[in-house]
Structure 1
Amino acid sequence: MGLVGVVLGLARIVMMLVLLAVRVVLPVAVGVFLYRLARREKARQAGEKRQEKRREPDFQGTVRTVDYRATEEAPHMGPEPPVPFGYKSGWAAIRCGDPRQVTVALGLRNVREASWSVGLEQAEQTGRVFVSPCLEGFVLVVGLLEVLEGADLPRWTAAFSEVQFFATHRVTEFHRWGRCRSGRLLRDYCYCGERGEVLRDVGEPTPEETALGFGGFPAVGGETECQRFPNEEDVLDIAAAWGVDPRFARGDYPPSMGWVCEL
C-alpha cells in the first residue's frame, strides 16, 4: 500500500503541474504568439507605405488634373461665326440694329457676353436665352420654345417694327411660325401632330409660304384633308425665306459674340 500511495501522490503532483501549465503557461504563450503576429503585420504595412512613397513623390500644394476629353469638347469661348440652330428650339427674329434695345425691351436680366457655342448651349436651359448680334437687320433671341408653345405672343412684340417667331419640336411634332409688324399680328400658324390638330391659323399665307408649298398643310377643322403635314425643315425654310436662315448655310458671316440673359 505504501508504494501505491507514493504513485498516487506523484500522479496528483503531475496533474497539478499540468493544470498550472494550462492555466498560466498556455495563455502566456498564446499572448506572445499574437504579439509577434501583430508586430509582423505592422512591419508589413510600414513596408508597403515606404514603397508607395517611393513610387509617388509627395507633392506640396494643390495637385491639378486635366480631363482631356472634356477639354477637347469644351465649347468655343471667343468670337466665332454663327453656329447653326433651330431644331427642337424656339426663337424670334427682331428687326432691330441694336441688341441692347432688345434686351431692354424684353426685360432681360443678368446680361453676359458669350460666344455662339456657349450662348446656344445656355439657351437650352429653362429661363435663359441667347441674344445674337445684328444679322442682316435682325437680332435673334434663341430659347423661346416654352414661350411660343403658349397661345399668346409676348407683349414686347409691339416694341419693334417687325418680329418673326418660330418654334419646332420633332417629339411632339409642334411647329409654329408667324410675323408681327408694329404690334399687329399678320400671320400665325401652329400645328401640333401629337394632338393631331391645327392650333392657330391667323392671317393669309404669305407669298413665301405659298412658294414653299405650304398651301397643302391642314387647316383648322380639316386636319385630315391635306396633302402633307408640317415638319421641322419647313419651319427653318420659312425662317430663311422671311429673313435669317438659322442653318447659316451661306457661311459668310464674320466671327462675333452674343449675350446670355435670363428672362
Structure 2
Amino acid sequence: MAGFSYKTSWLAVRGRAPGEVADALGLHDRELLDWGTGTDRAYQHGVYVAAPVPGWTLAHGRLHVPTGFDATEPPFPDWLRMLSRQLGEVQFFANERVPDYHAWARAVDGELLRAYCFIGERGEVPLFVGAPTADEIELGIGIRGAEPGWEQWSDDEWTAWYETTPSETDVMAMASRWSIDPSAIDDDTVTALGIYGQPPSVSDSSSNDNRG
C-alpha cells in the first residue's frame, strides 16, 4: 500500500526537516525509504518521517507514535510538550476503528494548547486539555469532555453528548484544518526519500506489538 490515513497515528511538524524530526524522536537504525515503502513499513513497526509536503513534515507510526503509551495515558501530554520544545509546533493525530480511538492535539514551543481523545468502546473522553478551537466548534466535534453528573443523564442528554464525539473521518477533517490531511496527498507527488527508523528502546524483535 502507499500513503496513510486510517488506523494509525502521526505527527505533523511545522517547517522542520525530516532529520530534525527523526532526531527529536530519537530514531535509530535509520534507512532512507520512498513514501510508499516507508508508510507501509510504519503501519507494521517503527516510524517513517516523510519528505516534507508544503509547510509540514509528517512522522507516521501505528505502534510507535508515541512508543509505549497512547493519548489516553498520563505520559502523553508531557511527551508532546517535550517534542514541541525541540521542534516548535507539533500536532498529533490518531484514529483506530477498534476500539474507536480518535485523538488530536497541538503543542507550540513547549505549551500544550489543545488535546482531545475519545474512546468509543468505553464511551469516554480521557483527554481534554484547553478550550475547543474554532475548527472543532464549527465541525461540532470534540467540544465536550467528561462531565459531572453524567450518571443521571437522560437518553436525550446522552444523545446530545454523543453527537459531539468524533469518527475517524472527523480526525482527517481536523488534520486538514490544522495542517494537512495525509489521505489527501497524491502519492505520486512525493518523490523524495524520507527517514525510517526505530524509536528508543525498540528493536525489530518487538514488532509483534499490536494496538487493535
Q: Residue 87 and residue 108 in structure 1: after superposition, are their counterparts in 2 closer, same or farther (change >3 A)?
A: same
Partner of 1:157: 84
Matches within 5 A, 1:159-198: 159-198=86-125
Q: Residue 152 and residue 96 in structure 1: after superposition, are their counterparts in 2 closer, same or farther (change >3 A)?
A: farther
Matches within 5 A, 1:54-203: 83-126=2-45, 128-143=46-61, 144=65, 147-149=69-71, 150-153=73-76, 154=79, 155-203=82-130
| SS at 1:226 equivalent | helix
Deviation at 1:151, TM superposition (A): 3.4
- C-alpha offsets along residues 8-45 of structure 1, whole Å, 9 cap, x if unaligned? xxxxxxxxxxxxxxxxxxxxxxxxxxxxxxxxxxxxxx
Matched, 1:242 2:168: no
Matches within 5 A, 1:30-45: none
User: Counterparts of 1:138 and 1:262 in 2: how far apart (Å)?
Assistant: 21
TM-score by length of structure 2 reads 0.76
Identity across aligned pairs (percent)? 35
User: Counterparts of 1:120 and 1:251 in 2: how far apart (Å)?
Assistant: 11
Structure 1 window deviating more from structure 2 (102-111 vs 219-228): it is: 219-228
> Are the aligned partners of 1:145 and 1:167 in contact in 2 as well (CA < 8 Å)?
no
Partner of 1:256: 192
Indicate the RMSD between aligned Cα atoms, in angstroms.
2.2
- C-alpha offsets along residues 67-104 of structure 1, whole Å, 9 cap, x if unaligned? xxxxxxxx6xxxxxxx4312110111011331111111
- C-alpha offsets along residues 83-131 of structure 1, whole Å, 9 cap, x if unaligned? 43121101110113311111112211011111111111211224x0010
Deviation at 1:193, TM superposition (A): 0.9
Bigger-Rg structure (1/2) = 1
**What code does the residue aligned with 1:141 have?**
A
Q: Which structure has the highest helix share of the two?
A: 1
Partner of 1:220: 146
> Are the aligned partners of 1:90 and 1:148 in contact in 2 as well (CA < 8 Å)?
no
Gapped regions of structure 2 (runs ≥ 5): 151-156, 200-212
Paired residues, number: 180
> Are the aligned partners of 2:3 and 2:39 in contact in 1 as well (CA < 8 Å)?
no
Matched, 1:206 2:140: no
Gapped regions of structure 1 (runs ≥ 5): 1-74, 76-82
TM-score by length of structure 1 reads 0.62
